[in-house]
């Protein structure tokens, strides 16, 4: 591995070739190490999309029980509760090594699942074990990736890098979901899961050949006192920075308000649009295509606007699209609105992530990104709980209108914060 001095010389050479005139996504070609990691991550996202369908089908074929399928997914969600702790540990480690080892371990684990299934030796208890293990690996890999992406490009190009990552991820998911049925139909569930295992290995290889600056928060011995101090350091950074604080609050609100939309979409398609499963599927495709287009547009044009304008404008437009769903009963109109809402999502999310990267110290990015993820996830169970109550008392159209209005209203308070407006 190259030393830090060698890395700095290399990145300086790259930066000299990045002229002020270069804007949009093409500027990222000047960062070969980012491109390497990005390619690996995109391939891994394709594998994840394929595996998402294949693994659910595998669980159904193996258990035949929706209860057992639900408990497997619940077990896989447990490690995310300890994401903040993982962020503290990752900040003290070489992020490149963490990325490589977590991808390799998940690749091996996923390959074992595929092999056992193909030879008829996979037991139900092993599903729980593998789901839990892979989730533990992801809990450590996520803050390592967030930290690595922060040092692979210059600050002024965070928005372009986040937009490209979001665009390629959406494209990989669309492609993966599109061919999943064909792969499973021709070669079987085991083969589809094996492809995901290979994608993890490819991702590990691309991280291995990339030069990633080694940033370690502290070499002080980690004891309980130090651990808890660093654990809550993520909260302190978020609380002390107005820009990050507003972003995380809005991210949490998105999860709360989107939960009822996700729950009510099948009912909306069936009862309001009279389109059934076909309409539900088409609307889902519309969201993914919109996300891809929004990511590309943001990467090309986002540098022209203030980040506060992008976040608030994207959030308001997203709310307007959701609210408008309550006013239409045509499948074509609904697909158009869901596509437009998909365009808004990367404008909100990628821009918000860029703000966090710009204002978080490199050596603390792991714990901050993990803390953000944990806070944002808190909104999900609350949102699903609310959706059950609301769904029983209000019709779907009224619910969508109220959710859209709530999203627009949430955008008003940040407009009165001068520091946020000026960013």
Q: What is the pTM of this model?
A: 0.80
pLDDT of residue 19: 44
Quick one: how far is CA 412 from the chain centroid?
26
Pairwise CA distance, residues 31 & 340, whole Å: 31
Q: Between the CA of residue 67 and those of 60, 183, 282, 331, what are the distances in Å?
A: 10, 27, 28, 33
pLDDT of residue 42: 93
Closest CA relative to residue 330, chosen from 394, 279, 261: 279
User: Would you call 188 helix, strand, or coil by DSSP?
Assistant: coil
Contacts of 241 (CB under 8 A, 6+ apart): 359, 360
Q: Which domains does the chain have, with CATH numbers?
A: 4-229 (1.20.1250.20), 233-421 (1.20.1250.20)
Mean pLDDT of successive 10-residue stretches along the chain, which has 423 residues:
50 48 77 94 90 80 72 79 85 92 95 92 88 91 90 89 89 83 84 93 95 81 80 81 81 78 82 85 87 91 88 92 93 94 90 86 84 73 65 78 90 83 74
Closest CA relative to residue 356, chosen from 177, 159, 182: 159
pLDDT of residue 390: 65
- What is the Rg, in whole angstroms, of the alpha carbon atoms belonging to the chain? 22
Contact between 342 and 286 (Cβ < 8 Å): yes
Closest CA relative to residue 314, chosen from 250, 256, 375, 378: 250
Torsional sign, CA 251, 252, 255, 258? negative
Q: Dump pLDDT digits (tens) for 69-93.
A: 767 777 887 888 788 888 888 888 8
Q: Dump pLDDT digits (tens) for 320-349.
A: 999 999 999 999 999 999 999 999 988 988
Contact between 126 and 70 (Cβ < 8 Å): no
Q: How many CB atoms lie within 10 A of CB 24?
A: 19
Q: Between the CA of residue 417 and those of 295, 303, 318, what are the distances in Å?
A: 27, 22, 21
Q: What is the DSSP string of 203-215?
A: HHHHHHHS-----
Contact between 89 and 226 (Cβ < 8 Å): no
Token match 């203030």: residue?
Answer: 306
Closest CA relative to residue 41, chosen from 159, 134, 166, 147: 166
Pairwise CA distance, residues 423 & 418, whole Å: 9
Quick one: how far is CA 169 from the chain centroid?
9
Contact between 394 and 272 (Cβ < 8 Å): no
Q: Between the CA of residue 90 and those of 28, 364, 374, what are the distances in Å?
A: 26, 9, 15
DSSP 121: -
């Amino acid at each position: 591995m190259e030393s830090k001095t060698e890395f700095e010389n290399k990145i300086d050479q790259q930066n000299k070739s990045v002229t002020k005139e270069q804007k949009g996504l093409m500027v990222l070609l000047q960062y070969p190490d980012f491109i390497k990691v990005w390619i690996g991550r995109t391939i891994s996202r394709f594998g994840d999309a394929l595996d998402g369908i294949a693994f659910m089908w595998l669980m159904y074929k193996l258990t035949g029980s929706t209860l057992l399928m639900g408990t497997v997914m619940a077990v896989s969600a447990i490690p995310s509760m300890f994401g903040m702790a993982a962020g503290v540990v990752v900040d003290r480690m070489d992020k490149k090594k963490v990325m490589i080892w977590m991808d390799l371990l998940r690749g091996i684990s996923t390959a074992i699942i595929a092999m056992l299934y193909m030879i008829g030796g996979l037991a139900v208890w092993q599903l729980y074990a593998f789901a839990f293990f892979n989730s533990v690996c992801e809990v450590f890999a996520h803050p390592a990736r967030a930290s690595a992406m922060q040092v692979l490009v210059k600050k002024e190009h965070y928005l372009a890098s986040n937009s490209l990552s979001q665009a390629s991820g959406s494209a990989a998911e669309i492609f993966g979901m599109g061919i999943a049925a064909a792969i499973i139909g021709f070669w079987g569930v085991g083969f589809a899961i094996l492809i995901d295992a290979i994608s993890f290995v490819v991702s590990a290889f691309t991280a291995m050949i990339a030069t990633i600056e080694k940033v370690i928060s502290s070499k002080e011995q980690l004891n309980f006192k130090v651990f808890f101090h660093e654990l809550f350091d993520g909260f302190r950074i978020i609380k002390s920075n107005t820009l990050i604080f507003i972003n995380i609050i809005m991210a949490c609100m998105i999860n709360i308000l989107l939960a009822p939309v996700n729950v009510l979409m099948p009912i909306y398609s069936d009862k309001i649009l009279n389109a059934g499963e076909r309409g539900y599927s088409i609307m889902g495709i519309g969201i993914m295509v919109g996300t891809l287009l929004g990511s590309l547009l943001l990467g090309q044009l986002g540098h022209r606007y203030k980040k506060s304008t992008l976040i608030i404008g994207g959030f308001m437009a997203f709310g307007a699209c959701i609210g408008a769903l309550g006013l239409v009963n045509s499948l074509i109109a609904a697909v158009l609105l869901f596509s437009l809402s998909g365009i808004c999502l990367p404008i909100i999310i990628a821009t918000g992530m860029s703000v966090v990267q710009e204002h978080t110290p490199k050596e603390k990015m792991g714990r901050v990104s993990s803390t953000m993820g944990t806070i944002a996830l808190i909104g999900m169970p609350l949102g699903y709980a609310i959706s059950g109550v609301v769904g029983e008392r209000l019709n779907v159209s009224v619910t969508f209108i109220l959710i859209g209005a709530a999203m627009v209203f949430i955008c008003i308070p940040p407009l009165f914060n001068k520091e946020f407006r000026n960013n």
